Amino acid sequence: MADTSFLDWPFLDPHHKTLALDLDEWAHDQLPAITDAPGAHDDVDNTCRALVKALGQGGWLRYCVPAAFGGALETLDVRALSIIRETLARHSGLADFAFAMQGLGSGAISNFGSEALKKKYLPAVASGEKIAAFALSEENAGSDAAAMTMTLRRDGDDYVANGEKTWISNGGIADFYTLFARTDEGSRGVSAIVVDAETPGFSVAERLDVIAPHPLGRLKFDDCRISAVQLIGKEGAGFKIALSTLDIFRTTVGAAALGFSRRALDEATTRATTRKMFGATLSDLPIAQERLAEMALDIDASALLIYRAAWTKDVIKSRVTREAAMAKLFATDQAQLVIDKAVQMFGALGVSKGEKVEELYREIRALRIYEGASEVQKLIIARQHLESFRDNPPTLRGNK
> What pLDDT score was predicted for residue 398?
58
Instruction: Pick the closest to residue 262 from 356, 326, 355 (CA basis).
Output: 356
- Place 31 in a pLDDT band, splitting at 50, 70 and 90: very high
Mean of the pLDDT values across residues 172-188?
90
Residue 246 has pLDDT above 90, yes or no: no
> What pLDDT score was predicted for residue 266?
96
Question: Which domains does the chain carry?
Answer: 5-131 (1.10.540.10), 134-236 (2.40.110.10), 239-388 (1.20.140.10)
Strands 276-277 and 202-207: unpaired
The C-alpha atoms of residue 31 and residue 18 are separated, in whole angstroms, by: 19
- Cβ–Cβ < 8 Å for 51, 95: yes
The C-alpha atoms of residue 170 and residue 133 are separated, in whole angstroms, by: 6
- Cβ–Cβ < 8 Å for 199, 226: yes
- Place 187 in a pLDDT band, splitting at 50, 70 and 90: low
Mean of the pLDDT values across residues 143-166?
92
> What pLDDT score was predicted for residue 146?
75
The C-alpha atoms of residue 299 and residue 262 are separated, in whole angstroms, by: 7
- For 68-85, write each residue's pLDDT tens digit: 999 999 999 999 999 999
Q: How far is CA 322 from the centre of its chain?
A: 17
The C-alpha atoms of residue 123 and residue 112 are separated, in whole angstroms, by: 16
- Catalytic position from the list 139, 371, 375, 387: 371
> What pLDDT score was predicted for residue 188?
78
> What pLDDT score was predicted for residue 142?
74
Mean of the pLDDT values across residues 102-123?
97
pLDDT averaged over every residue in the chain:
94
The C-alpha atoms of residue 114 and residue 134 are separated, in whole angstroms, by: 18
- For 333-355, write each residue's pLDDT tens digit: 999 999 999 999 999 999 999 89
Q: Is 235 noted as a catalytic residue in this protein?
A: no
| Comparison of pLDDT for 185 and 336, the residue scoring more | 336
What is the H or E stretch that residue 153 is in?
A: strand 151-155
> What pLDDT score was predicted for residue 394?
84
Alpha carbon distance, N-terminus to C-terminus of the chain: 55
- For 366-380, write each residue's pLDDT tens digit: 999 988 899 999 999
